[in-house]
Amino acid sequence: MDIKIIRTEDDYKNALKRLDEIFDASVGSPEGDEAEILGLLIVKYEKQNYPVEAPDPIEYIKFIAEQKGMKPKDLMPIFGTFSRVSEVLNKKRKLTLNMIKKINERLQIPYEILLQSYKLSN
């Protein structure tokens, strides 16, 4: 097992290639341990070099609601009125802390996403 910190793009590509070769190794075997360590190093490198931006909170709410088969009217218990649902989903009104709490509880959307800034539409 010859593992080193991934510092360059070449190191990253070589680590991915090696992980692909040993991916199905048995847990607890030397190759299995190597695969686990390589996976951690790859994730660390990707977080540092390929950060993923948090999604727009309103677009994410729409996505999750759609995935759950919910219509805008189904969001009324969260936002209060249908006009408020429309205002928020069309980015005419910002989310309030109370809305964020309800969205987190009912749709299980993490606070980290809901607290991201976004621009209102004109």
Q: What dotted CATH number matches 57-114?
A: 1.10.260
Give pLDDT tens digits along the chain (122 positions).
778 999 999 999 999 999 999 999 898 999 999 999 999 999 999 999 998 888 899 999 999 999 999 999 999 999 999 999 999 999 999 999 999 999 999 999 999 999 999 999 87
CA distance 8 to 6: 6
Residue 89: count other Cβ atoms within 10 Å of its Cβ. 17
100-65-51 Cα angle (round to 5): 70
Q: Domain boundaries in the chain?
A: 9-49, 57-114
Q: What is the pTM of this model?
A: 0.61
Tokens matching residue 45: 């490198």
Residue 3: count other Cβ atoms within 10 Å of its Cβ. 13
SS3 content of the chain, % helix, strand, coil (to 5): 60, 0, 40
